């Protein structure tokens, strides 16, 4: 039984979380040849002030903003 934990900075919608859970489940089913019902995914929302890069909160915030920008670009396509 594959168990996947995803840590993301808070702010994603329930629909976005469901979509990524479905995509990851599909990938695990295909690559590990397991039934979808055996795949477990846990999504952990991290507070924006709890994500640091190299000990720097602003770097974590910058990485989060870049991720949000990439998601917005992908949604617009």
The domain spans of the chain are 1-46, 52-77
Q: What is the CATH number of domain 1-46?
A: 3.30.429.10
Instruction: Give the model confidence (pLDDT) of 30-65 as tens digits.
Output: 999 999 999 999 999 999 888 888 888 876 666 666
- b/e string for 45-56 if b means 16 or more Cβ within 10 A? eeeeeebeeeee
Computed over every residue of the chain, the mean pLDDT equals 87
Global pTM reads 0.71
C-beta separation of 72 from 36 below 8 A: no
The residue that leads in pLDDT, 9 or 61, is: 9
pLDDT of residue 24: 98
**Catalytic positions:** 2
Q: In this structure, how many other beta carbons lie within 10 angstroms of the beta carbon of residue 11? A: 13
The DSSP secondary structure of 7-34, one letter per residue, reads EEES---HHHHHHHHHHHHHHHHHHHT-
């Amino acid at each position: 039984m594959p168990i996947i934990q995803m840590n993301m900075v808070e702010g994603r919608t329930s629909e976005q979380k469901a979509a990524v859970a479905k995509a990851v489940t599909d990938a695990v089913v295909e690559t590990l040849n397991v039934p979808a019902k055996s795949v477990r995914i846990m999504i952990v929302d991290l507070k924006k002030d709890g994500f640091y890069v190299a000990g720097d909160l602003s770097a974590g915030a910058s990485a989060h903003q870049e991720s949000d920008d990439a998601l917005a670009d992908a949604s617009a396509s």
